[in-house]
């Protein structure tokens, strides 16, 4: 019988073992690689603990996914979106990826389609187009653009959904006031005053409406309010407009000058000063104020804070 040395026996055993392992590798059923979990980042930069139930991409679409707000979210692009992930899901965040030496140990930018086992930063939109907050932003945007009819329609719908939201009540009241619906505006201001009795802006707007019918009463109340809140530019401006309406142009110009110094980026104060100067026959002063109002409106008001066409027409007549 052929005798084998110890080294030969060890070599044979190693060969048999390697052959067995290789056979096991080829016959075993290897399943697909799943994602290791979803690392979600909140606004303050802290990581939310991983949920072991999130096995794969489908779990990233569950309700309540944490949102990254602001410009830090970067869409990975349609081509790199893995199956099961909707268009409202974003991957990675450019500002979260360190640069330089720190990048060696920090998170890496990955392609989820080509590297499905990599951890992902998932971003979900915080509100849909029909949500309350989204509709409120749209209504306020319409109001700022002077689209009062559209703004009122949106504020009315929001008012039906929540009649005690101060933002809705204020926007609705201002829109009604802009449309000349003074009685409806006053009722809305009163509703808001019941909810937020310390809101000075509400009092100013209510007195502005009161001044259209009872200017003397409104002026006395505005003067009292100005003593209580001397640094509130809204009170000063409303007091000036009320004084101008009762013919006290000198005092009106004084208070508008104060308002303009407190709020130099507001063209409305300069425009009102121009109108008053024009009314009392101070033509050169009026021209100066009109021109300054146009300049400030172009720089700070996006060309919408004063009636520019009317100003140009008036300047053409008095120059």
**Long-range pairs for 311-314: beta carbons < 8 A, 24 or more residues apart:** 311/271, 311/274, 314/278, 314/290
pTM reported for the whole predicted model: 0.55
Give the whole-angstrom CA distance, residue 229 versus residue 145: 29
Domains and CATH numbers, the chain: 37-126 (no CATH), 134-318 (1.25.40.10)
pLDDT (tens place) for every residue of the chain, 319 residues total: 444 455 555 545 554 444 444 444 444 444 433 333 333 333 333 333 333 333 333 333 333 322 222 222 222 233 344 444 444 444 444 444 455 665 555 556 666 677 666 555 565 556 666 789 889 999 999 998 889 999 999 999 999 999 999 999 999 999 999 999 999 999 999 999 999 888 898 999 899 898 888 888 999 999 999 999 999 999 999 999 999 988 999 999 999 999 999 999 999 999 999 999 999 999 999 999 999 999 999 999 888 889 999 999 999 999 8
Give the whole-angstrom CA distance, residue 150 versus residue 143: 8
CA torsion 61-66-71-77 (nearest 10°) is: -20
DSSP secondary structure string, 251-274? HHHHHHHHHHHH-TT-HHHHHHHH
Beta bridge partners of 91: 122
Q: Which of 93, 89, 92 is nearest to 58 (CA)?
A: 89
């Amino acid at each position: 019988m052929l005798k084998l040395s110890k080294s030969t026996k060890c070599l044979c055993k190693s060969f048999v073992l390697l052959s067995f392992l290789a056979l096991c590798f080829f016959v075993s059923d290897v399943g697909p690689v799943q994602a290791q979990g979803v690392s979600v980042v909140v606004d303050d930069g802290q990581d939310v603990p991983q949920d072991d139930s999130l096995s794969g991409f489908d779990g990233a679409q569950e309700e309540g996914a944490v949102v990254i707000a602001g410009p830090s979210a970067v869409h990975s692009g349609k081509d790199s979106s893995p199956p099961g992930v909707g268009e409202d899901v974003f991957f990675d965040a450019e500002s979260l990826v360190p640069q330089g030496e720190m990048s060696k140990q920090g998170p890496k930018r990955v392609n989820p389609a080509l590297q499905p086992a990599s951890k992902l930063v998932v971003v979900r939109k915080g509100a849909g187009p029909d949500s309350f907050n989204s509709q409120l932003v749209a209504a306020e945007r319409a109001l700022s653009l002077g689209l009062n009819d559209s703004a009122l329609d949106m504020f009315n719908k929001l008012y039906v959904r929540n009649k005690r939201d101060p933002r809705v009540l204020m926007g609705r009241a201002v829109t009604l006031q802009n449309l000349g619906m003074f009685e409806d505006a006053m009722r809305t201001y009163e509703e808001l005053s019941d909810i937020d009795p310390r809101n000075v802006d509400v009092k100013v707007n209510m007195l502005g409406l009161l001044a259209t019918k009872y200017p003397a009463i409104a002026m006395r109340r505005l003067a009292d309010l100005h003593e209580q809140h001397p640094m509130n530019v809204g009170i000063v401006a409303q007091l000036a407009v009320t004084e101008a309406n009762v013919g006290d142009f000198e005092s009106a110009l004084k208070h508008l000058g104060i308002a303009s110094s407190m709020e130099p980026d507001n063209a409305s104060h300069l425009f009102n000063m121009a109108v008053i100067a024009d009314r009392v026959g101070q033509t050169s002063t009026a021209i100066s104020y009109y021109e300054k109002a146009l300049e400030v409106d172009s720089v700070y008001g996006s060309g919408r804070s004063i009636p520019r066409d009317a100003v140009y027409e008036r300047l053409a007549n008095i120059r």
